[in-house]
Amino acid sequence: MSFCMVVDCGSVYLRDVGIHFYRIPAETDNKGKRQELNVRRRQLWIAALRRDDLTETKLKYGRICSKHFISGKPAHIKDTTNPDWVPSLNMGYQQKSATASAKKRIERYSKRLKTTE
């Protein structure tokens, strides 16, 4: 069973109707030749995942779902200027807002600065 490799995505093949899954690009073309464009794209996809636990097996069988592409599918390999050349939506690592305790620390620090001036 295939599932999306993006952190906190949870899309699963066969369960989620209408969601398509795409393989991590290979470094070689369909003739087995290593292509520089394929290598670059693969590196960018792996960097976009931001996962430390990736192995060659996970990359070989892993998939990214259509939720992470603007148009719902990856761009053609030669269309390097297309924003869908690399997955970019809902990648699971957006900056989170400050916690309540962090906000309180900032307020205390601001008060201390005002009293010392």
At residue 95, the pLDDT reads 41
Burial 96-108 (b: 16+ CB within 10 A, else e): eeeeeeeeeeeee
Confidence of residue 66 (pLDDT cuts 50, 70, 90): very high
- pLDDT, tens digit, 9 for 90 and up, residues 90-100: 888 754 445 56
Q: Is the predicted pLDDT of residue 43 greater than 90, yes or no? A: yes
Q: What is the pLDDT of residue 37?
A: 92
Structure tokens at 29: 């073309």
User: Which of 1-5, 6-10, 97-101 is predicted most confidently?
Assistant: 6-10
Among residues of the chain, what percentage have pLDDT more than 70?
85
What's this model's pTM, rounded to 2 decimal places?
0.73
pLDDT digit string (tens) for 77-117? 898 888 889 998 888 875 444 556 666 766 776 677 677 66
Long-range CB pairs of 84-90, under 8 A, 24+ apart, other chains included: 85/41, 85/44, 86/41, 86/44, 86/45, 86/48, 87/6, 87/45, 87/48, 88/48, 90/6, 90/9
Q: For residues 76 and 93, what is the distance between their CA atoms, to the nearest angstrom? A: 26
Mean pLDDT, rounded, for 20-24: 94
